[in-house]
Every structure is written in C-alpha cells, then in structure tokens.
Amino acid sequence: MFTEKELSEAQALVARQMSATPAHDWPLLAQALGTDVVVKHENHAPTGAFKVRGGITFIDWLKRAHPEMRGVVTATRGNHGQSQARAAVAAGLEAHIVVPHGNSVEKNAAMRAYGANLIEHGDDFDTARELAMEMAETQPLYPVPPFHKELVRGVSTYGYELFSEHPDLDVVYVPIGCGSGICGTIAARDALGARARIVGVVSEHAQTAKLSVESGAMVETDSARTFADGMAVRVPVAAALEIYSEGADHIGTVTEEEIAEAIRLYFRATHNLAEGAGAAPLALAMKEKEQNAGLKVGVILSGGNIDTAWFSTVLQGQVPPV
C-alpha cells in the first residue's frame, strides 16, 4: 500500500501531535501466553486509541485537497469520531459525528468534549453511517468513510513504530472493525520488510470480516451485537477486505467471555485498561498459545476507552449486556 518513505513522512506528521506509544513486554503476560509477548499500547495515545493517528493525516490531507469544505461528517462507535473531532476542530473545521442509539456514554462525552456535534441515529454503526453519508450530500461537509487511504496511512504509523522497534516479531494479533487497523499493520510490515504473520480478530457476534474472507466475497451479517464496539460491524469495507484477505495469515473469533477475561488479564498483569476491541487480540493469542510456543508474539492494545459501568461488570467476572 505504501512505500517506506510514505510511512516515514506520515510518522513525521503524526509525531508533531503525539509521542510514539510504548511497546512493552510484560512478564505476567509472557507467563500467561507461555512465550515472549510485546504489547503495542495504543491505549496510551491521545483519545486513548489508535484512530487518533488517522485523524491527523486525514485532516491534513483534507485541508490541502478540499479547502472549500466547512467541515467533516462521519459515523462511529467512538474512537474514530474522537479522532476526527480532535483533528478537525483543531484545524478550524466543524465535526459532525453520527453514532447509533445506545452508544458508549463515555465515548459520546469525549467526542462532545473535542467539539463534535453529536447525532444519535439508528441501532448500529452501519445505519448511522447511512445518515452521515446523506448529510454530506446536502451540506459542505466532507464524508469521512471508515476506510480511506489517508486514514490508513496515519494508522500505519503504529505498525511502523512497532516493527521498527521489534523487527523480529513472528506474529501480531490485530482486531478488525472496518479494517483500517489491520490494513495499516499489514502495510507497515510490508513496507519495512518485516516477517511477522498478521492475524485478524473478530467477535463471534460480528464475523463479517471472517465470513467474507472465507467465502471470497462480501458477506453482510444481520447483526453485530458485541460489547467490543470497535468490532461491531455488519458490512465489510470492500477496499479493506481486498487487503486483509491477502495480507493476513488468518482471522480468528473470540467470545464475549474470552474478551472479558482478556480485559481482566490486562488489568491484573499490566494495570492497563483495555476496551473490548483492544483486548480481543490478547484473547485470541491466549486461544492460540500452543501454536505460538517459542515465538515472539505482538498484540495490539488498540484502545482503552471502556465505560466505567462495563469495566465494573467485567471486573466482577461478568460480561456487559448489549
């Protein structure tokens, strides 16, 4: 997708607004997985998630490519919306963010705090996205899709940091929602000539990415009801599917219970917060630990924005209702 030079330039742009996130090896996680493991802490990024990187590069591109636009409009379950609101408002643009009803209370509050005009519509992300695209047709607002070259170029910088620091990783686990994260990881690996296998992770209740790869065609699901809201997608993004269907080693599923246990493990072993999608890579790495014996494993802790009530439920050994 990108040359090393293109990613280096993106890294320089992102570095103006945020520091590189840490990549730590935690001994208690190594004990749990039975092998070397490195956590890429995107939960330490501004907004608490990896998406902030794509907002930086996308808004920089938009200001240059479409100076006539008054602002942006997009749909989100939270982290993408925070990223766009943060970058757009800082650049003097409006940010109109559409979320489904019942969205994370605390992610909604964060988006408003970054200056977003928040609109609640529909029962899931894909319905919210339909309204966002309709708004762009009648107002001078640029419709930010869930997947765009400039979003992915920004997101790729976490992979660029990770593989620059740990070029000897054997396998890296990445959650899949609309696909920018896994595609960015694949792009960084390929640009830097790293050897790691990239493994995608989906919830058993939101398997559109896995089903689409297995069938070789777009497969929409009837619902995507998971508390791992960053993976709660019913409709795959064709451009992303084309990349991860070729670039990923395989895609695995995790249950709601396995995600909750991974959140608890992160807290016990590292005292870091992980939201559902952020913990899913660790959950699958735990399931596949026997086949990873003796390997150096990377897991992307993509975000830590979990609502207080949900986290409390998880710490009590339960699964948040959705």
Predicted confidence at residue 61, as pLDDT, reads 98
18 backbone dihedrals φ, ψ, rounded to 5°? -155, 155
3-state SS of 217-284?
CCCCCCCCCCCCHHHCCCCCCHHHHHHHHHHCCEEEEECHHHHHHHHHHHHHHHCCCCCHHHHHHHHH
In the chain, the N- to C-terminal Cα span, in Å, equals 36
Instruction: List the domains of the chain with CATH numbers.
Output: 4-50+149-316 (3.40.50.1100), 51-143 (3.40.50.1100)
**Average pLDDT of adjacent 10-residue blocks, the chain of 322 residues:** 96 97 98 98 97 98 97 94 97 97 94 97 92 95 94 98 98 97 98 98 97 97 93 95 98 98 98 98 98 98 96 97 88
Q: Are 116 and 96 in contact (CB under 8 A)?
A: yes
Predicted confidence at residue 1, as pLDDT, reads 87
